[in-house]
C-alpha cells in the first residue's frame, strides 16, 4: 500500500475532530465497544521508529492527550492504546475506552466477542469540544 491507495492519506484533516500540523484525530464507532478515537500522522509513514525523537514525542503527546480526554468523557474501566497498521500501514494510534461489559473485555477489541454489549456512543460535537479543551484549539 502506497500513499496513492491509502485510506488514511485519503482523509481530509480539515474534517477531523481535532488537528495540528503533524497529526489529526478522528472517531470511529466499533460494534460492541462504542466510540473510539484514532490519532493519525499526516504523512504516510509506516513505523514509529521512522520519526525523529521530537516528532515521536509530539505524536505521543497528542495520543496521551486524547487518552486523558476519553478518560474524563467516557469514564472507561481502562484505556487501550494500540498501533497495529497491518491492514493500513500508515502511522495511527487507536485510543480505545474499554468497559467490563463491552463485547470483548478483557480481550483486545479485535478478538471474538464474548457477550452482547450495551450501546455506547460519544457525539462528535461533544468529542470535538473536549479535544479542543484538552489539547488546545
- Footprint on this chain of Zn ion (rule: CB under 5 A): 3, 6, 8-9, 44, 90
Q: How many H-runs (helices) and E-runs (strands) does the chain carry? A: 2, 5
What CA–CA distance (Å, rounded) separates 70 from 78? 10
H helices present in the chain, as ranges: 53-74, 124-135
The closest residue (CB) to Zn ion is 6
The residue among 41 and 105 lying less far from Zn ion, judged by its C-beta, is 41
Nearest distance from C-beta of residue 23 to Zn ion, angstroms: 12
Closest distance of CB 3 from Zn ion, Å: 5
The rounded distance, in Å, linking the Cα atoms of 16 and 14 is 6
Nearer to Zn ion, 63 or 70 (CB): 63
Phi/psi region, residue 75 (left: phi>0; alpha: psi -120 to 50; beta: rest), is: left
Q: Least Å distance between CB 84 and Zn ion?
A: 14
CB of 63 closer than 8 Å to CB of 95: yes
Select 5 or 52, whichever has its Cβ closest to Zn ion: 5
Q: How far is the CB of 7 from Zn ion (least distance, A)?
A: 8
Q: Which is nearer to Zn ion, 3 or 83 (CB)?
A: 3
Amino acid at each position: 500500500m502506497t500513499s496513492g491507495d491509502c485510506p488514511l492519506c485519503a482523509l481530509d484533516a480539515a474534517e477531523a475532530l481535532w488537528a495540528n500540523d503533524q497529526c489529526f484525530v478522528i472517531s470511529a464507532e466499533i460494534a460492541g465497544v462504542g466510540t473510539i478515537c484514532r490519532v493519525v500522522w499526516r504523512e504516510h509513514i509506516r513505523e514509529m521508529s521512522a520519526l525523529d525523537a521530537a516528532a515521536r514525542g509530539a505524536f505521543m503527546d497528542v495520543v496521551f492527550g486524547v487518552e486523558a480526554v476519553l478518560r474524563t468523557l467516557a469514564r472507561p474501566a481502562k484505556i487501550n492504546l494500540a498501533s497495529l497498521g497491518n491492514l493500513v500501514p500508515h502511522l495511527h494510534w487507536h485510543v480505545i475506552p474499554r468497559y467490563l461489559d463491552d463485547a470483548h473485555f478483557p480481550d483486545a477489541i479485535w478478538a471474538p466477542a464474548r457477550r452482547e454489549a450495551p450501546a455506547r456512543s460519544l457525539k462528535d460535537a461533544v468529542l470535538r469540544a473536549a479535544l479542543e479543551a484538552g489539547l488546545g484549539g
